[in-house]
Structure 1
Amino acid sequence: MGKLSERSLTRRQIEGMIADGKAVFLYKGEVMSVNAWMPYHPGGDTAIKHMIGRDATDEVFALHSEDAKRRMKSYIIGKYDGAWENFLPPIKGGVFRKYNGPEDDEEERLRMRLDLDAASDSTPSSPTLSATSSSEDSFPLLDPSLRRRRVESSSSSVTTVEDETEVPPGHFDGDYLTRQYIEADLAKYPSLQNATQKEIAQKYRDLEVRIRAAGLYKCNYWAYAKECTRYAFLFASSMWCLRNGWYKTSAFFMGAFWHQLVFSAHDAGHMGITHNFQVDTVLGIIIANFLGGLSIGWWKRSHNVHHIVTNDPEHDPDIEHLPFFAVSHRFFGSIFSSYYQRYMPYDAFARFFVPMQHYLYYPILLFGRFNLYFLSFEYLFKGLGPRKGPAAWHRYLELAGLVVFWYWFGYGVVYKGIPNGWDRFSFIMISHMVTMPLHVQITLSHFAMSTADLGTTESFAQRMLRTTMDVDCSEWLDWFHGGLHLQAIHHLFPRIPRHNLRPTQKLVMEFCKDVGIPYAIYGFYRGNEEIIGRLAEVARQAKLLAECQKVMQEKGEFGGF
């Protein structure tokens, strides 16, 4: 591997490899080809696919243990000298050309010189908005779904085609809305020029060094001892009430037990407890599967993708909730989910629920835990996790965990512990509905934030802060929120133990002020106002779309979103 890893590769050579089907990305200037690892990756192959053609340094560093990063060295196939310009990954519609030899390298060098000359002539301090022509080859940065929206970009700036006319009353224009949301973000956040974003990335890496030096990656095991005491109290209270025939009270304590338990499962899934992959995974399986009836493997597969393409309607499973919720008008186009590998139709059910989603938000979330059961069963019974490698045996332990859970909870507590059908039903519904605040917390940090795709030059740090909010609360309430209220901090540094997120917050605030990225933080009440406001806004758009379609049908006109 020595000589192979030392060879310098050109951009066109790397592009040609991707065109040939190789999963290639950059990490700290080294070129990785990881096709052989994808079936073994504990976080699933979809997360890797989103990194193909990109400099994945920050994503890899944020989400992987030191041991995993050391093992990655075996996949190095060369190095790249100079500043890398990200490609749009194939999973997002990127198109790659075959490599035909050195003449392609010369052509690429000429193109890059022309780009640099153009950038030095303009040197705008912020992305430029102006009219320009459109072509299929003019969109190297933005998602292909935006190509038909006539949004163009280059490595040095982002240019959008501005339509000077307002949307006429009674007319729904999804393209116009897409442009407006993108332009709002461009005006609010730092320039997407390569130089600006690379400076942000470097300062983010410097911040990580400061955080590590401050010992904030070290786990406070005494804090977990207190957590375990709380879990034991809630579970014992549920069992005591059950024994005394106080079934509804017992159900409340059971739900509170699950609500609190999930926070530690989340920590274990991110290797935030011992920082050892196998140890933390086993802890996560014990907590999630054996005690909660949910799959930690499913959560990892979904959550890793969420951390990489946060709030992207076509790619982030954490905001794909049709037919019940749509947090962006882009869902009206019956999008194709790259995670679920299927279309999410904006069908009759969606047209019924979405216009009322701001009213239905809390009632629907009362049933959120039942959906988690379904997703867990689907993941384990379909064998969607790795079948080989260091995580292959986890599936069998997880299945054993579900058997144990349904034995102690389904048979022991619900069937044997409760004498009649109505009380059993009440116990199940109350215990599951009590976990609703957890689902509010999970959605609160993202539903009200940006869903725009600003392209391939945007740094990992800026995207995380643009798509995620923190929820402010008194420090003594941190136990209730379980660290999920500090999601912006968590998204920047997922492996930091949650008991260290609050001191990390001060350093992140300094970072945001330094680089000029707005740091979104709201109180719990205001955060809920923001999310209900966003859902109401999309609901109004859905009603307008329905009215437009009705008028078109009456006039005999036909057209798509």
Structure 2
Amino acid sequence: MHVSTSLASAAGGRPASPRERQVSDFTALTKVVQGSGLLRRRHAYYWSWFVGLTAALAATGVVFVVLGDSWWQLVTAAVLAGLLGQVMFLGHDAAHRQIFESGRWNDWSSLVIANLYAGMSYGWWQHKHSRHHAKPNQVGADPDVATDVVLFHTEELTAPRTGLAGWLTQRQGWLFFPLLLLEGLNLHVSGITTLLGRGPVRRRPVEIAFVTLRLGGYLAVVLWLLPFGMALAFLGVQLGLFGLYMGAVFAPNHKGMPLVPRDARLDFMRRQVLMSRNVRGGRVTDVLMGGLNYQIEHHLFPSMPRPHLRRLQPVVREFCAERGIRYTEVGLLRSYAIVVRHLNAVGLAARDPFQCPLAAQLRPVA
């Protein structure tokens, strides 16, 4: 599909400035998308996923009760981790207004799916994720690249990391995926902390009720039916694999892509395309990654229903090629290698962030 625009006429007959050309780029792409029907809702698709996941979770619950005191329950825990990952993809889509036209319907869908089904705080996640979408990979703005246990850049590092912390940081690329085994627990704790604190949560009483019912009921059933040691093993496998699954899907999207300095300004299209990475694959990849393998298209049109992203991809790829905008797409294993290499490079730079060439690249040119 070819898109043509008259940038001169858009600028009132005079030659268009670089800024006007950039704005016109996304305007032209938006017109194409609006005329393609790709923004229309897919109610049957999403209802099928919701009913299917509900049935699968119910069947897993039945298997759990029937198995009882058996170490085969660890297989049940692994299956549950995968199903809950798919549940969170569905909650992600609802939070982005992909399922219904009504904002209220999408909000309540997210509350039910995230809080009641998965035990996660929708309000906490939405606030964090919205900031990420607004300024992906921008230092000081995107919470997904903020300084934490894992360093994604050295711009905010005020002192070299030494000792055990330094040793771990220098090897953080290799340790990244093992650390994701703790991410499931971290996601639950972060949400609960926000709900019980003063974080930005619109429907705090509803979220607290849903999360308490979900997590309290879940723990009660597991501890009631399984011996204590087996129950801990079950919870460890379920939470560990859930966190690993979520991290393995989200990490390839932006980690290792260019970082934006704190005070840099970019137009919307380049901000979203240049900082995002797609993952190649077929229908199986689409399902396993919840459509997030089309990260560039998702960031450009976050309210577009998941099944339409595959159809949008060739349009965006060709559009970017015509305008000289770098469009990044790699295989899944290649994306993981990029993430590991990038994190190791940042970790090594943390030994002396003030003399680090990587940090120097992040500083805006005067």
Q: What's the CA shift string for 1:203-249, capped at 9, x where partnerless?
A: 21221121122111112222223323441353134223312133112
Match of 1:463?
271
Query: What corresponds to 1:524 in structure 2?
Result: 332
Alignment partner of 1:445: what SS? Answer: helix
Q: How far apart, CA to CA, are the structure 2 residues paired with 1:347 and 1:399?
A: 40
Match of 1:221 among 43, 54, 59: 43
| Larger-Rg structure | 1
Which residue type is aligned with residue 381 of structure 1? L
Query: Who is 1:364 aligned against?
Result: 179
Shift of 1:448: 0.9
For 2:169 and 2:130, locate their aligned partners in 1 and report how far apart those are by CA, in whole Å.
Answer: 27
Other-structure match for 1:68 = none
Q: CA deviation at 1:526?
A: 0.8
Q: In the alignment, what sits opposite 1:428? A: 235
Aligned to 2:330, the other structure's residue is in SS state: strand
5+ long unaligned stretches in structure 1: 1-82, 84-193, 335-344, 387-391, 549-561
Distance 1:466 1:255 in 2: 32
Contact 1:366 / 1:433 at 8 angstroms: preserved in 2?
Answer: yes
List, as ranges, runs of 4+ consecutive aligned residues in structure 1 with deviation greater than 6 Å.
none
Quote the Cα distance in structure 1 between the aligned partners of 2:341 and 2:83. Answer: 31
How far the C-alpha of 1:329 sits from its partner, in A, is 2.5
8 Å contact from structure 1 (residues 327, 538) kept in 2: yes
Equivalent position amino acid for 1:257 in 2? L
From 333, 338, 342, give the equivalent of 2:158. 333
Q: Which amino acid is 1:363 matched to?
A: P
2:87 aligned partner:
261
SS at the partner of 1:427? helix
Instruction: Give the direction of change, closer, same or farther, for the CA distance of 1:207–1:311 in structure 2 (3 Å limit).
Output: same
Figure out how many residues of one structure are paired with residues of the other and give that number.
339
Instruction: Indicate the residue corresponding to 1:236 in structure 2.
Output: 58
1:409 aligns with one of 201, 207, 218: 218
How far residue 273 of structure 1 moved from its aligned partner, in angstroms, is 0.6
Aligned-residue identity in percent? 23
Distance 2:44 2:101 in 1: 16
Map Cα deviations across residues 63-118 of structure 1 (whole Å, 9 max, x no partner).
Answer: xxxxxxxxxxxxxxxxxxxx9xxxxxxxxxxxxxxxxxxxxxxxxxxxxxxxxxxx
More helix by share: 2
2:121 to 295, 299, 324: 295
Q: 2:109 maps to which residue? A: 283
Is 2:41–2:99's contact at 8 Å kept on the other side of the alignment? yes
Partner Cα separation in structure 2 for residue 451 and residue 242 of structure 1 = 45
Whether the 8 Å CA contact 1:306–1:316 is kept in 2: the answer is yes
Q: Contact between 1:235 and 1:253, CA under 8 Å: does it hold in 2?
A: no
Q: Any idea what SS the aligned residue of 1:260 has? A: helix
What does residue 384 of structure 1 align with? 199
CA contact (8 A) 2:110 2:122 kept: yes
Letter in 1 for 2:239: H
Contact 2:94–2:109 (CA<8 Å) still a contact in 1? yes
Alpha-carbon distance between aligned partners in 1 of 2:336 and 2:307, rounded to the nearest angstrom: 24
Deviation at 1:441, TM superposition (A): 1.5
Partner Cα separation in structure 2 for residue 236 and residue 250 of structure 1: 12
Equivalent-residue separation in structure 1 for 2:270 and 2:206 (angstroms): 38
Contact 2:161–2:169, Cα closer than 8 Å, also in 1: no
* Residue-by-residue CA offset, 1:154-184 (whole Å, 9 max, x unaligned): xxxxxxxxxxxxxxxxxxxxxxxxxxxxxxx
C-alpha spacing 1:547/1:311, structure 2 compared with 1 (3 Å): closer
Q: Does 1:472 align with 2:280?
A: yes
Instruction: Quote the residue 1:508 is aligned against.
Output: 316
1:444 to 240, 252, 259: 252
Q: Is the 8 A contact 1:204 1:511 kept in 2?
A: no
Deviation of 1:457 (Å):
4.5
Q: 1:385 and 1:348, CA in 2 relative to 1: closer, same or farther beyond 3 A?
A: farther
Aligned to 1:375: 190
- Decide whether the 8 Å contact of 2:139 with 2:262 is kept in 1: no
Q: 1:233 to 1:385 in 2, by over 3 A?
A: same
Residue matched to 1:311: 137
Task: Please give the secondary structure, in 2, of the residue aligned with 1:485.
Answer: coil
Do the aligned partners of residues 486 and 521 (structure 1) sit closer, same or farther apart at CA in structure 2, a change above 3 Å counting?
A: same
Q: Given that residues 234 and 254 in structure 1 are in contact (C-alpha distance below 8 angstroms), is that contact kept between their aligned partners in structure 2?
A: no
Partner of 2:364: none
Shift of 1:272: 1.0
Structure 1 residue 486 corresponds to structure 2 residue 294: yes
2:361 corresponds to which residue? none
Contact 1:366 1:434 in 2 (8 A): yes
With over 3 angstroms needed to count, the CA separation of the structure-2 counterparts of 1:347 and 1:300, relative to structure 1, is: farther
Letter in 2 for 1:473: G
For 1:227 and 1:331, how far apart are their aligned partners in 2? 42
Matches within 5 A, 1:173-192: none
What is the Cα deviation at residue 350 of structure 1? 4.3
Aligned with 2:17: secondary structure? helix
Structure 2: distance between partners of 1:443 and 1:489 = 17
Q: Distance in 1 between matches of 2:18 and 2:177?
A: 40
SS at match of 2:155: helix
Distance of 1:302 and 1:225 partners within structure 2: 27
Whether the aligned pair in 1 keeps the contact of 2:140 and 2:262 (CA below 8 Å) is: no
Structure 2 equivalent of residue 534 of structure 1: 342
Matching of residues 138-157 of structure 1 within 5 Å = none
TM-score (norm 2): 0.86
* Aligned residue in 2 for 1:26: none
Match of 2:19? 197
**1:270 Cα shift?**
0.8
Q: CA 1:294–1:517 in 2, change beyond 3 Å: closer, same or farther?
A: same
Report if aligned partners of 1:265, 1:288 keep a CA contact under 8 Å in 2. yes
Higher relative contact order structure (alpha carbons within 8 Å, sequence separation ≥ 6): 2
